[in-house]
Amino acid sequence: MTQKFDKPTNEWIEEDIEIPVMTPKVNEKEKRVEFTQTTQKAKRKTFYSDSPSKKIICAKGTHVFNCIDKGKYIFKCKNCDFHKIAYPVTYRFNKQTGKLTHRVTNNQV
């Protein structure tokens, strides 16, 4: 899935880009101004960074929770930084699998 990027990464490069420019032209017969769009080349400094891919949050239903505060019912996923307040009236916690399940709908968080 990783593709080779055709420009150098992690350094500043000077790049030619095309900028759309509107040029006015006066039409004497109809006594009005007409605009034509052309492109102009310009140089611009650009920085392409090679940032590694990082998991921000797990997919729904794949979280593995751990209880971090029993008094406030705060659960944190072991694989990502997702926190959930899960009251025991609404959610059921399975310690062996680390899953939080809604009591009414049976959907996992």
Under the banding of pLDDT at 50, 70 and 90, the label for residue 104 is very high
Percent of the chain with pLDDT over 90: 69
Residue 1 is predicted with a pLDDT of 43
Flag whether pLDDT at 98 surpasses 50.
yes
pLDDT of res. 82: 92
> What are the beta bridge partners of residue 45?
14
Query: Are 58 and 106 found together in one domain?
Result: yes
Average pLDDT score over residue span 22-37: 90
Of the candidates 55, 99, 108, which has an alpha carbon nearest to the alpha carbon of residue 77? 99
Whether 77 is in a domain gets the answer: yes
Check whether residue 58 and residue 40 sit in a common domain: no
Domain that holds residue 25: 12-47
Residues 6 or more apart in contact with residue 80 via CB below 8 angstroms: 55, 56, 57, 58, 63
d(CA 82, CA 68): 12
CB 75 within 8 A of CB 65: yes
Co-location of 79 and 94 in the same domain: yes
pLDDT digits (tens, 9 = 90+) for 41-86: 999 999 998 888 877 899 888 999 999 999 999 999 999 889 999 9
